[in-house]
Amino acid sequence: MLAFECDYLEGAHEKILQRFLETNYEKVPGYGNDKYCESAKAKIKEACKCPEADVYFLTGGTQTNAVVIDAVLQKYEGVVAAQTGHVNVHEAGAIEYTGHKVLTVPAHQGKMQAAELKELLKAFWQDGSHEHMVFPGMVYISHPTEYGTLYSKKELQEIAGVCHEFEIPLYLDGARLGYGLMSEETDVTLSDIAEICDVFYIGGTKVGALCGEAVVFTKNNTPKHFITMVKQHGAMTAKGRLLGIQFDTLFTDNLYFEIGAHAIAMAKKLKEGFRERGYSFYLDSPTNQQFIILSDDEIEKLQEKVSFDRWDKIDENHQVVRFATSWATKEEDIDALMALLDESHPVL
Amino acid sequence: MLAFECDYLEGAHEKILQRFLETNYEKVPGYGNDKYCESAKAKIKEACKCPEADVYFLTGGTQTNAVVIDAVLQKYEGVVAAQTGHVNVHEAGAIEYTGHKVLTVPAHQGKMQAAELKELLKAFWQDGSHEHMVFPGMVYISHPTEYGTLYSKKELQEIAGVCHEFEIPLYLDGARLGYGLMSEETDVTLSDIAEICDVFYIGGTKVGALCGEAVVFTKNNTPKHFITMVKQHGAMTAKGRLLGIQFDTLFTDNLYFEIGAHAIAMAKKLKEGFRERGYSFYLDSPTNQQFIILSDDEIEKLQEKVSFDRWDKIDENHQVVRFATSWATKEEDIDALMALLDESHPVL
Amino acid sequence: MLAFECDYLEGAHEKILQRFLETNYEKVPGYGNDKYCESAKAKIKEACKCPEADVYFLTGGTQTNAVVIDAVLQKYEGVVAAQTGHVNVHEAGAIEYTGHKVLTVPAHQGKMQAAELKELLKAFWQDGSHEHMVFPGMVYISHPTEYGTLYSKKELQEIAGVCHEFEIPLYLDGARLGYGLMSEETDVTLSDIAEICDVFYIGGTKVGALCGEAVVFTKNNTPKHFITMVKQHGAMTAKGRLLGIQFDTLFTDNLYFEIGAHAIAMAKKLKEGFRERGYSFYLDSPTNQQFIILSDDEIEKLQEKVSFDRWDKIDENHQVVRFATSWATKEEDIDALMALLDESHPVL
Amino acid sequence: MLAFECDYLEGAHEKILQRFLETNYEKVPGYGNDKYCESAKAKIKEACKCPEADVYFLTGGTQTNAVVIDAVLQKYEGVVAAQTGHVNVHEAGAIEYTGHKVLTVPAHQGKMQAAELKELLKAFWQDGSHEHMVFPGMVYISHPTEYGTLYSKKELQEIAGVCHEFEIPLYLDGARLGYGLMSEETDVTLSDIAEICDVFYIGGTKVGALCGEAVVFTKNNTPKHFITMVKQHGAMTAKGRLLGIQFDTLFTDNLYFEIGAHAIAMAKKLKEGFRERGYSFYLDSPTNQQFIILSDDEIEKLQEKVSFDRWDKIDENHQVVRFATSWATKEEDIDALMALLDESHPVL
């Protein structure tokens, strides 16, 4: 059985497991105060070309979004996201659970537009009764988005420009950042992100780690007593080494980028394979998630030998499905998938 | 440098790391729906002799307490804990953050007394204005407590009896449960706990895992849509295998109990060593945490060569300090500690 | 200066003030346990033809929405509202503050459509990852809506039908209910509402009271310990008589309905006056709020002598403005307004 | 039937009702932006001799405590109160509902001691793991306390001194402030309170108003966007005049102080009556609440003709009961109570 339904099917990059073994009996302090966390932070700051950054490690994406957004927002503020943003749809209300509203702007293949963001912010401040409304207190974007799409550097700068104009921070959810950074179609580097965003996170769980996300505050802007808020959210890891060792390994010898590059190469091969065979794409994704339109019949047949993610109905007989590659995807699996497609002789 | 300050200084039991390596490239579903989680759950249910139990895996203790307590309580309820309970002191207000008050009864070496619990519950219901008060909606105990002490089976039954009388569930925080179960001075087994408590957790982080706690609902009483509340708290792990593999390993061939027994043996040796040398104990702990009274001078001298935890001032010149053993403590380190004590010729 | 900007410009109906004076020195118990609350509840149940109803009094609309929605929802649930619903826009995030998301369906002149509601609910339950999403746990509608519009009895029944199908309660915000019930264009009675909805509130603040809203649970479905949750929200009134006397008066001799009828008669006169003079309406409101399109010039001129509410820009030179009548509106003020319009010779 | 169980048995001072009548048909803006709120604020600032104060009106005590404490505290902070403080016992967890812990110091007849407060604050900051604990972020005291007792000016200054030392604000709950200020045994004036406290509230509900509490921020320290947080808590009154008119009346011609003085005179007469007849007091209250020890037999007999509040069991056969006077207590009722006592020939 082939499997392409997501990018967290396997364990961790073997260099990480190796490092666990090598360091296992060292006695180090808890709660992130160990030398591996220190080393990982230093390497991340260097990779971001942002020596003044503060770096923290949390275990998962929803947790990171809830902790960061809650810690940054004032009590009367909400966060602005694209309608399809992960925080607005697939986090079981984790943001609202912290008492904050998710305000939305339209999504364009998962992305927000600076102009529409500006419109929302302007409308808020011009509204005579805005004191009775939720103050837009920060902007959330995901990069890559939930649809695999990427912002261009110019788009990020425009969104950041609107944020500056209205004096609210820009937060980037990089759950799959490694795949975004290594896309052939991006002009955005890690240091661009550190420069443009006020806070962002570098996803580990979906990019080669067993778990873990690295939050980076870039402008000497870590909320006061952030550590206590992490604990209050139940998000502190007693054995901080679990996260420190993973990120230290990922940011040693460019491993994080190599992992990204591998998944992108696999995605390219997969995408070209589908394209050559005449399949339609729901949208043109430059990253490791590919959204393909299949007929119900094709889905039924394929599903016997390969797992993938059913995304959305598109008409009576067709659905969008997602194939994802990852750090662990093997070239031979793509070949096998293509062979399967050829067997099933799709006629669209 | 010797280190005894806590029981989470090292990584994980090597069998766990070995299992990570062996299973690393298997593709399994996320969010706890993998075969390792399934297998671990089955083994835990068997170890608890509680086939009807529901088992869930979370990453840390504070997180587990917050999620379980919030999921079980009605909105108008609070949780009753001993004054020194972890949820009342060292969780940065994580319980209150979920909107629930921690109601307290006096602590006796970390333990609550059934009679005092009953008094609080009776007083609440007899109070004419109890509708203006927080309803006591569940009882929280830790076992071992924060002071290393243990409830006897009779004490647990008495507390449970009070809970039944007032129709509220009993929740046991077993962050260090393995050490409690293997204490030579306990008459409480894992199946006793499953029988007596409505919900409890089996601590992994402090008993040989890199992270992870196993929540056990024992009476067909899992709160509806518990999984969604786990997600809402940011407590869901995408790669559920991280937790499943660890607990599957811990509950294979009695590893969890072996780990506990080793730490208890080491603690006994340490305790006897201090006792033979005439040291005073703050209290008589039957588990892996030992609380010893040292003079400030002794502390200063010892700290040069061994790390331990400074707990509390006891008078002008003396402090309570904690020495903890763990699954990873080596006998030779206890010997080295004793040699250090002999060197420093303590006169109390 | 004429004033039409809202329906809470004056104090209270004079019969209410009279009742305050008459009963002022009677000593009655606090917290809603007085005879006036009892009497008011009985009268409301009778007016609703719903003897099994439970009635509670709160002080304001946002408070009522937050308390009722939070008390009814499970922790993993959110409330579904029309995009323009008061709870989604003008309550400063009071619902999210209680930890619950507001899920939205499109608004059609302030109203939701049963079909679109059903679509959202169906989509939720069909979504393979709905356990990672906020469960739609109740439906919120306002009647009249924020745009003065009304649901027909059939529309309410259709929405209730969808709610029944998905087993979630229907909640109706009746901040201006009196004006809705007495509209000449409605076929919905108070007892219809009690029959169709699971919980609703009868607005007092905007319909002749100084403050106060009467919450009606119609199906023996008051959440357990609702009173304690009211207190927890800071929404309990020590001198419950303040609310009891007001609602007892409003529901004596049909006063509540008379008040409604008066405002509707005044609104009709106002509406006809504008229509006769050739003004355009933003929408056709059958209640006490009228939404008229004025040019910026007209607005500037009119504002010197009459206050009204600026609602929204509609194009470069025109805005939607709101004129509201109330229980206290005097016919002569409408006449004076028409005279002002005639003076200003509007040419649209 | 005589009634002394609390100080909110009657409606409002008749001058307030008179003012409602006189102003009823004036059209004024909502949400506290009316001239009566403005006038009331100016008078309160003058009465406090604190021209830089910011004044806000809310409807009840629990609401005021929850809104003020939540608005002032940072997310990682809790409020310190005496064990018996209203926020810790009788507010149904309203503070915890906002996510904040109530930290407690011992209560001495309802009062906290500066030394014990300092001890708690010092212990927190000296604790090596204080980042895992709730930060004490403000201090709450009630004056008069729940036991009718009063702080001396010196005691208030000492508590404020500790607050300054640890840089946290002091908040005074003045639900019954009028009775405290007019006690014959106090040396604390309203301007002292404004000078010593960072924020406090002047209780209306229990001191002659139908509802309403006036919050006073004294040091240019109103939390940013406080109004929005008031709305978010469901605590904003649409017809702000309801509160403005009441406080404007209470602070015209010293009415608030006259009301206080009357209740104190009545309490003195009641206290002396009990004392002359040989009754014991639970404590020596200098304000309008008197706590007397009665035998169960006496209680049973008395209760047939007079209502009072049963407070607490003191031994097998005796209870503490509370008799409260208020702005509305009549001298003849005290006489009648004394006659009842004489009839029942108490033998203690």
Q: Which chains touch B (3 or more CB pairs under 8 A)?
A: A, C, D
| Subunit contact A129:C90, Cβ cutoff 8 A | yes
On whether any CB of chain C is under 8 Å from the CB of D326, the answer is no
On whether any CB of chain B is under 8 Å from the CB of D6, the answer is no
C-beta separation of C136 from C170 below 8 A:
no
Chain A's closest residue to D133, CA to CA, is: A228
On whether any CB of chain B is under 8 Å from the CB of D125, the answer is no
Please provide residue A238's backbone torsions phi and psi, each rounded to the nearest 5 degrees.
-60, -50
CATH class for the region spanning D14-253: alpha beta
Q: Which residues of A touch D231 (CB under 8 A)?
A: 131-132
For residues A272-307, one letter each, b for 16 or more C-beta atoms within 10 angstroms of the residue's C-beta and e for the rest, the string is ebbeeeebeebeebbbbbbbbbbeeebeebbeeebb
C-alpha A187/C-alpha A201 separation (Å) is 19
Please list the alpha-helical segments (H only) found in chain B: 14-23, 35-47, 61-72, 86-89, 94-97, 114-126, 153-165, 177-181, 190-196, 226-232, 241-250, 255-276, 296-302, 331-343
C-alpha C20/C-alpha C5 separation (Å) is 28
On whether any CB of chain D is under 8 Å from the CB of A233, the answer is no
Q: Which residues of A touch D132 (CB under 8 A)?
A: 228, 231, 236
The pLDDT assigned to D344 comes to 74
C-alpha C35/C-alpha A134 separation (Å) is 40
The pLDDT assigned to B344 comes to 74
Amino acid identity, position D97? Y
Asked if pLDDT for residue A348 goes beyond 60, the answer is no
The pLDDT assigned to A312 comes to 86
Stretch C208-229: mean pLDDT, rounded? 98
Q: Give residue-wise pLDDT tens across range C80-117.
A: 999 999 999 999 999 999 999 999 999 999 999 999 99
Q: Which residues of C touch D63 (CB under 8 A)?
A: 234-235
On whether any CB of chain C is under 8 Å from the CB of B76, the answer is yes
DSSP A223: P
The pLDDT assigned to B348 comes to 46
Does pTM top 0.90 for this prediction? yes
Please report the number of interchain residue pairs, chain A to chain C, with beta-carbon separation below 8 angstroms: 53
Stretch D48-58: mean pLDDT, rounded? 98
Fold of C2-7+256-342: Aspartate Aminotransferase, domain 1 (3.90.1150)
Return the CATH number of the domain spanning residue range C14-254: 3.40.640.10
Q: Which chains touch C (3 or more CB pairs under 8 A)?
A: A, B, D
Question: Would you call the peptide bond into B144 cis, given omega within 30 degrees of 0 as the criterion?
Answer: yes
Q: Which residues of B touch C168 (CB under 8 A)?
A: none
| Subunit contact A237:B206, Cβ cutoff 8 A | no
* Residues ≥6 apart with Cβ < 8 Å to A42: none
Of residues A21, A60, A62, nearest to B17 (C-beta) = A21
Q: How far is D222 from chain A (nearest CA, A)?
A: 14
The pLDDT assigned to C90 comes to 95
Q: Give residue-wise pLDDT tens across range A244-290.
A: 999 999 999 999 999 999 999 999 999 999 999 999 999 999 999 99
Alpha-carbon dihedral angle through residues A244, A245, A251, A257, given to the nearest 10 degrees: -110
C-alpha B251/C-alpha B39 separation (Å) is 10
On whether any CB of chain A is under 8 Å from the CB of C97, the answer is yes
> What are residue D290's DSSP bridge partners?
D323
On whether any CB of chain B is under 8 Å from the CB of D310, the answer is yes
Each residue's pLDDT, cut to its tens digit, for chain B (348 residues) gives 899 999 999 999 999 999 999 999 999 999 999 999 999 999 999 999 999 999 999 999 999 999 999 999 999 999 999 999 999 999 999 999 999 999 999 999 999 999 999 999 999 999 999 999 999 999 999 999 999 999 999 999 999 999 999 999 999 999 999 999 999 999 999 999 999 999 999 999 999 999 999 999 999 999 999 999 999 999 999 999 999 999 999 999 999 999 999 999 999 999 999 999 999 999 999 999 999 999 999 999 999 999 999 988 899 999 999 999 999 999 999 999 999 999 876 554
The CATH superfamily label for domain D2-6+256-342 reads Aspartate Aminotransferase, domain 1 (3.90.1150.10)
Asked if pLDDT for residue D347 goes beyond 60, the answer is no
Please provide residue A169's backbone torsions phi and psi, each rounded to the nearest 5 degrees.
-75, 155
Q: How far is C95 from chain D (nearest CA, A)?
A: 8
- The token pair at C146 is 């924020």
Q: Would you kindly state where each structural domain of chain A is located, as residue ranges?
A: 2-6+257-342, 15-255
The pLDDT assigned to B312 comes to 87
The pLDDT assigned to C345 comes to 64
| Subunit contact D228:A71, Cβ cutoff 8 A | no
Please provide residue C216's backbone torsions phi and psi, each rounded to the nearest 5 degrees.
-125, 115
Percentage with pLDDT > 70 across chain A: 99
Asked if pLDDT for residue A209 goes beyond 90, the answer is yes
Please list the alpha-helical segments (H only) found in C34-113: 35-47, 61-72, 86-89, 94-97
Q: How far is D97 from chain B (nearest CA, A)?
A: 4
| Mean pLDDT (chain A, rounded) | 97
The pLDDT assigned to D345 comes to 64
Q: Which chains touch A (3 or more CB pairs under 8 A)?
A: B, C, D
Stretch C29-53: mean pLDDT, rounded? 98
ipTM reported for the complex, 2 dp: 0.96
| Mean pLDDT (chain C, rounded) | 97
Asked if pLDDT for residue D348 goes beyond 90, the answer is no
CATH class for the region spanning A15-255: alpha beta
Q: How far is D92 from chain C (nearest CA, A)?
A: 5
* Residues ≥6 apart with Cβ < 8 Å to C130: C124
Q: Which CATH architecture has domain A2-6+257-342?
A: Alpha-Beta Complex (3.90)
Q: Give residue-wise pLDDT tens across range D102-150.
A: 999 999 999 999 999 999 999 999 999 999 999 999 999 999 999 999 9
| Subunit contact A211:B14, Cβ cutoff 8 A | no
The pLDDT assigned to B345 comes to 64
Residue appearing with tokens 């009556």:
D273
Q: Which residues of A touch B234 (CB under 8 A)?
A: 60, 62-67, 91, 94, 233-235
Of residues C3, C11, C238, nearest to D20 (C-beta) = C11
| Subunit contact D24:C30, Cβ cutoff 8 A | no
- The token pair at D23 is 């102003």
C-beta separation of D15 from D249 below 8 A:
yes
C-beta separation of B341 from B277 below 8 A:
yes
Of residues A30, A67, A237, nearest to B234 (C-beta) = A67
Q: Give residue-wise pLDDT tens across range A71-98.
A: 999 999 999 999 999 999 999 999 999 9
- What is the distance of C-alpha C195 from the center of its chain? 18
C-beta separation of A179 from A263 below 8 A:
yes
Asked if pLDDT for residue D64 goes beyond 70, the answer is yes
Q: Give residue-wise pLDDT tens across range D212-221.
A: 999 999 999 9
For residue C66, how many C-alpha atoms fall within 13 Å in the half-sphere facing its CB?
32
